[in-house]
Every structure is written in structure tokens, then in C-alpha cells.
């Protein structure tokens, strides 16, 4: 005699298992759906998330530490920083970087920033002026300094070049009386301001809720995860209806049997 479980019992087991699996995702869908329906009331588009783990997950948390150089004279006091491929003037983002920064000085007319094979010119108001490639004249800049209030660079040969007052031509000079730039250590307050400038106010809460609702917050396959939750919810509805219908039919049969087989 075989012990075969009825189909209704097997469906009930699967109904319970899938229900437990989908429970968390369905709760997320329900809560985030309610929040998105009341975006203005909850001020989702005005609130920001600054959790470091979440910002890092979205790629908004910078890596490593900033490289900074301070430009200070009688008229100006500014900090030029490079952080995670971004160039900053004090706490304002200026431009993107593809090369490492090796120094920044204040020349007579411009702020000069030296990269591996580029020179970037900024105004003393922090405006981007020009990006000059140095790969034709020389390459592999190692250091940036100043002599006679003019920029001087050291290359990997090593050779030393000094620019004219307009930063157009460079002449080879000897390594004498050059004031080389030194990295500046930012204070905690300066790092915090730079971090705010790097990532803005953070992530809008509305975006996080939208990504959580759609599943995109879980990565490229997150959407399919939420699709699976929706399919599971549909299956639960149909299987629950089937189990209820089967149980009702069985109860009717029992009543019918009792009615016609009474002693």
C-alpha cells in the first residue's frame, strides 16, 4: 500500500514555502509603494541619505584620501585638491581628472596645477581656464615648483623646465633656488566640506525608495528579483484559491456522504 499525499496537501506545502520566500520582498514592495504614492507628504524629493555604506554602494563615496596643495600669498589663500578623479578649488568642484596631481602653485596670473602629462590653469576665483597637454614638449611630470614667480616642473629624466609669464613656452633650467610645492594636510573640517562638495547633499531619499521598490538597489539582477516576488504573489493568490476550492469541494462531498449514509 503506497502512502501518497494528496495534491491539495502538496500545493499547501508549496504555498507556504513560496509565501515565506516572498514575504520580505512583498513587504518591501508594499511599504515603498505607499511611500511613493505620498512623495510630497513624506518629502522624499527633499530628503537626502548620507549613509556611508549606501553612498559607497552607489559609488558616491570617494576612495583613498585627497591630495591637496595650499596656495597662500598676500592676496589669496586657497586649497587645490584632487580626490577620486575630481579637482576641487577649496570646496568647489572644478573638473574631472584622468591623471594624478603633482602640485599646484599660484603664478602671477593663474593658478597652475600639474598632472602627469597636463597643466591645468585656473583663475584665482576658481574658474577653469585651460587644460594644456605637455606630452609633446616633455612628459612624466614629477614635481611642480616656482622660481622668479614662474612655474617650474621636474620631469622623470630628470630635467627642469620653467614657463614664461603666460604659461606658453618652457625653457630648460638648472635645479637652483626652486621652491617646490609641498602637500597640504587638510583639517577634519576641510575634509568634511570637501566630502560634501564631492557627493553633494548625498542621495535623494526618493531615488533610494524608487530603486528599492524596483529592485535596482540590489544590482543588475534586482529587477528580476522583484519580478519573482510579483510572480510569487500571483502564484500565492491562485494556489490559495485552488486550495480553498479543493477544501470546499471535499467538505461538500463529506456532507453529501453523511446525508445519504446515516443509520
Neighbour tally for 80: CB within 10 Å: 27
If pLDDT is split at 50, 70 and 90, which confidence band does 49 have?
confident
Cα four-point dihedral sign 227, 228, 229, 232: positive
- Residue 35's alpha-carbon distances to 133, 173, 228, 229, 243, in angstroms, are 51, 66, 22, 19, 33
At 50 the pLDDT is: 73
- Please give the angle made by the CA atoms of 58, 63 and 66, to the nearest 5 degrees: 130
- Average pLDDT for 112-131: 93
Give the 3-state secondary structure of residue 158: coil
Query: Helices in the chain by DSSP H: which ranges?
Result: 7-37, 39-42, 52-57, 188-199, 205-214, 222-260
> CA–CA separation, 110 vs 113, rounded Å?
9
Mean pLDDT of 250-263: 64
State the pLDDT at residue 1. Answer: 44
Strand order in the sheet with 150-155: 170-173, 160-163, 150-155, 141-147, 179-180
Which pLDDT tens digit goes with each residue over 152-202? 999 988 899 998 888 888 899 999 999 999 999 999 999 888 888 887 766
Does the structure show a pLDDT above 60 at 8? no
Average confidence (pLDDT) over 39-44: 83
pLDDT value for 58: 76
- Domain 63-199: state its class: mainly beta
pLDDT grade for 254, boundaries at 50, 70 and 90: low
Q: What pLDDT score was predicted for residue 179?
A: 92
List the domain boundaries for the chain.
7-55+203-256, 63-199
pTM over 0.75: no
Amino acid at each position: 500500500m503506497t502512502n501518497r499525499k494528496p495534491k491539495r496537501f502538496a500545493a499547501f506545502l508549496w504555498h507556504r514555502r513560496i509565501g515565506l520566500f516572498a514575504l520580505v520582498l512583498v513587504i518591501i514592495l508594499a511599504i515603498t509603494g505607499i511611500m511613493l504614492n505620498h512623495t510630497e507628504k513624506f518629502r522624499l524629493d527633499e530628503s537626502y541619505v548620507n549613509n556611508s555604506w549606501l553612498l559607497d554602494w552607489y559609488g558616491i563615496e570617494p576612495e583613498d584620501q585627497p591630495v591637496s596643495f595650499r596656495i597662500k600669498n598676500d592676496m589669496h589663500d586657497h586649497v587645490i585638491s584632487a580626490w577620486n578623479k575630481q579637482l576641487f578649488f577649496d570646496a568647489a568642484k572644478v573638473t574631472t581628472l584622468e591623471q594624478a596631481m603633482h602640485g599646484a602653485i599660484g603664478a602671477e596670473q593663474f593658478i597652475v596645477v600639474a598632472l602627469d602629462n597636463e597643466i591645468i590653469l585656473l583663475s584665482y576665483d576658481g574658474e577653469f581656464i585651460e587644460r594644456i597637454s605637455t606630452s609633446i614638449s616633455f612628459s612624466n611630470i614629477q614635481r611642480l615648483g616656482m622660481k622668479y614667480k614662474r612655474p617650474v616642473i621636474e620631469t622623470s629624466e630628470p630635467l627642469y623646465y620653467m614657463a614664461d609669464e603666460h604659461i606658453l613656452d618652457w625653457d630648460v633650467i638648472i635645479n637652483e633656488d626652486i621652491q617646490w610645492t609641498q602637500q597640504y594636510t587638510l583639517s577634519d573640517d576641510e575634509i568634511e566640506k570637501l566630502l560634501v562638495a564631492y557627493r553633494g547633499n548625498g542621495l535623494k531619499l526618493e531615488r533610494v525608495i524608487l530603486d528599492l521598490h524596483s529592485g535596482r538597489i540590489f544590482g543588475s539582477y534586482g529587477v528580476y528579483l522583484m519580478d519573482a516576488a510579483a510572480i510569487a504573489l500571483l502564484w500565492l493568490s491562485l494556489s490559495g484559491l485552488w486550495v480553498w476550492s479543493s477544501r470546499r469541494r471535499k467538505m461538500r462531498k463529506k456532507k453529501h456522504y453523511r446525508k445519504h449514509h446515516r443509520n
